[in-house]
Amino acid sequence: MNQPQQPEAIYTVGLDPERPRHLLVEVQWHVHGAETRFRLPQWRPGRYEQSLFVRNLVALTAQNENGEPLPVIKTEASEWLVHHPGSTTLRLSYRYFANQPDAGACWADPEWMYVNPVHCLMYREDSMGQPCRLHVRTEGMSTSAGPIIIATSLHGQADQGYTASDYHELVDSPWMASAQLQRLDWVSEGVAFVLWMHGVPAPDEAMQAQICRQWETMASVQIQTLGRFPQDEFHFMLVGLPYAFYHGVEHRRCTVLALGPATEIWKHLYRELLGVASHELFHAWNVKSFRPKGMESYRYEGWMYSELGYVYEGFTTYYGDLFLVRSGCLLPDEYLEEVNAYLLRHSENYGRYNHGLRESSIDTWVDGYSQSQSAPHRRVSIYAEGMLQALHLDLVIRSSTVNNESPASLDDLIRYLWKRFEQGPETPGYTQETLTLWLDENAIVPSTYKNWTDYFRIHYEQPNSIEESLRSILPQFGCRLTTTPNEDRIKHLLGLQMKWNQAEPRVEHCVPGSPAALAGLGPDDRWLSWEIQTNTSDPYPAVLNPSSDTDFLRKALTTNDSLRVRWITALGHERQGVLRPHSTLRYYDQHKIEQDLQSGPTELRARKQWLGIA
């Protein structure tokens, strides 16, 4: 006997007529029993840190089916309880402050409403699997540019509402509403794609043709690599902002991309746009489909740790740009420029000597995404460091022995994770052991490592500076790693990262154990005066003369000099000290990968296979 379908949860969202930059949210549930507990999410998938969205919630009220008010009792930071004996329907109403114009949050004004619903839609744990219906109310929005258009990957119509199979699908489906939305459509490998645009200049006819051609090819290469796209359609939602900005957020059937300044999006920012679009599209497989163990089904309260951020973000960052060169959107030298940008971030972060990728993956929940809020050089980025380690892993697999057959690659491992997921909803999430077992079972033997367990221990479980590993393997692929001293002599000799664009030079951070650190300089210390000393026989000169030419200072220091600085801390403590370069240690070296023009045919063939070029 078929069970009756569970009642829908009904959500209605629109502009709050009483509070500018607020959403008015209404929720209706069928209820039973005498009480209901409900929550607001405390984080959003795609950003693995605690985010107390409840800080934006205002004026929460509840009533029953007769419109009678019900008392709301707060039980935890993001949880409430309502007693409703004898009621069959619970209706909530509240306001949500929507004032964060990026790719992951919410914004509300008469020209543009953008909602990432995981921020603002309540849920009940006992009804998360029920079908949901969403009504987007557009009253109060400006129609001076035409009728209001709603961009969403949910199925449905504006007048009848949009449907989601459950709460998870609902909150993974952001939407935009505006009279100023533009769209482009194309088909890649039988999959319908849409590019929605808001806040960007309308691309001219030639630019539209270029977008459709390049984005169609980019998507086709990804689908051909993986074998099948997880969905029957996909929406890119592009937001142009009037200031410098870069952000993208993945969802299973769509992605939101925010860039600025908007006037440059079809000009010098276009390559950035291609990169973030490719990255977020690959997330449709990696993390929106196959996920690590423990993340198979999201829970939105508390912390949801994973030690495998280097897979769902590092591998994705690696493939985002690699797919662009394979699809012809980037030339090989342009691709290496993108890789070298990550090498620069690697070189600037001495956290690589402190935390490995495994620990850093967990610690996104500790530090968030801004390392300025934690100890300097504490950990590495699962994006930048994860990308470089993915590059190295791919090259190691490609250079390994596979029973005299065609060389394997990281592509094969990604395809395995995808096909494993396709086996059914009961398939458990992957672990690091899943990766090493596949490599072992396919008789892929890593050179210079005992086994794959040893490889992952060295490269992921403990601190690891990747440059020497890359230097060793790149020649097999017609490339080389070059290392040059940092041109900023203050950084190179003293291990000191400064903010020079201040009225007074200000310390950003310094390398642990460097001359700057040993002298006692710390974050936000302000230099009052400084002097290069070539003769240090006088330990305390009478006067320190500040120089307005900091560019000269950064180029003039030599290994035989010392730098005497007088500075003041944030608490007003004035100090001075002498910074003497170490006899051998140097800091912030800059690493670059280049094509080796002297490579032979074997290496050139391996490079073409890696980059997927003819």
Structure tokens at 413: 């491992």
- Give the model's pLDDT for residue 220: 98
Tokens describing residue 354: 């402190």
Which tokens belong to 528?
Answer: 């009052």
- Report pLDDT for 406: 67
Count of beta carbons in the 10 Å neighbourhood of residue 149: 18
588 phi-psi bin (left φ>0, alpha ψ -120 to 50, beta other): left
pLDDT of residue 541: 45
pLDDT number for residue 404 = 46
Q: How do beta strands 479-484 and 106-108 pair?
A: unpaired
Amino acid at 120: C
Q: Quick check: 160 and 202 in contact, CB under 8 A?
A: no
Query: By the 8 A CB rule, do 348 and 588 touch?
Result: yes
> What are the structure tokens assigned to 116, written together?
């990432």
Nearest C-alpha neighbor of 444 from the set 479, 490, 476, 396: 396
The SS3 assignment for 332 reads helix
Phi-psi label, residue 32: left if phi above 0, alpha if psi -120 to 50, beta otherwise: beta
| DSSP assignments along 430-475, one per residue | B-HHHHHHHHHHTT-B-TTSS-HHHHHIIIIIS---THHHHHHHGG
At position 239, the amino acid (one-letter code) is V
Q: What 3-state class would DSSP assign to 597?
A: coil
Specify the CATH number of the domain 309-485+590-611. Answer: 1.10.390.10
Q: How far apart are CA 611 and CA 614, in angstroms?
A: 9
Task: For residue 397, give the nearest of 357, 443, 356, 335 by alpha carbon.
Answer: 443
Distance of CA 448 to the CA centre of its chain: 32
| Dist CA 151 CA 176 (whole Å) | 5
Confirm if 37 and 99 have CB atoms less than 8 A apart: no
Q: What is the pLDDT of residues 46-87, one digit of tens each?
A: 999 999 899 999 999 999 999 999 999 999 999 999 999 999
User: What gap in Å lies between CA 339 and CA 362, rounded to an integer?
Assistant: 24
The DSSP code for 566 is E
How far apart (Å, rounded) are the C-alpha atoms in residues 614 and 608? 7
**Is residue 273 within 8 Å of residue 265, measured between CB atoms?**
yes
Q: Supply 378's token pair.
A: 């504490």
The residues facing 83 across adjacent strands are 35
Between the two ends of the chain, the Cα-to-Cα distance in Å is 59
| Secondary structure of residue 288 in the 3-state scheme | coil
What distance in Å separates the CA atoms of residue 210 and residue 99, rounded to the nearest whole number? 34
Q: Which architecture does CATH list for 1-179? A: Sandwich (2.60)
Tokens matching residue 505: 């030079």
Q: Which residues contact 595 (CB under 8 A, 6 or more apart)?
A: 332, 333, 336, 478, 479, 607
Identify the CATH class of 489-579.
Answer: mainly beta
Question: Which pLDDT does position 405 carry in this prediction?
Answer: 58
pLDDT at res. 426: 85
Tokens standing for residue 23: 């959403």
pLDDT tens-digit readout, 419-478 = 999 998 789 999 999 999 999 999 888 888 999 999 999 999 999 999 999 999 999 999
Would the CATH topology of 309-485+590-611 be identical to that of 489-579? Answer: no
Residues (pLDDT < 50) of the chain are: 1-4, 404, 540-544
Q: Domain limits of the chain?
A: 1-179, 309-485+590-611, 489-579
Query: Which residue, among 198, 37, 61, 175, has the nearest Cα to 115 in the 3D structure?
Result: 175
The predicted structure's pLDDT at residue 424: 86
pLDDT tens per residue, range 290-331 = 999 999 999 999 899 999 999 999 999 999 999 999 999 999
Q: The pTM is what?
A: 0.94
Q: How many helices (H) and strands (E) does the chain have?
A: 17, 27
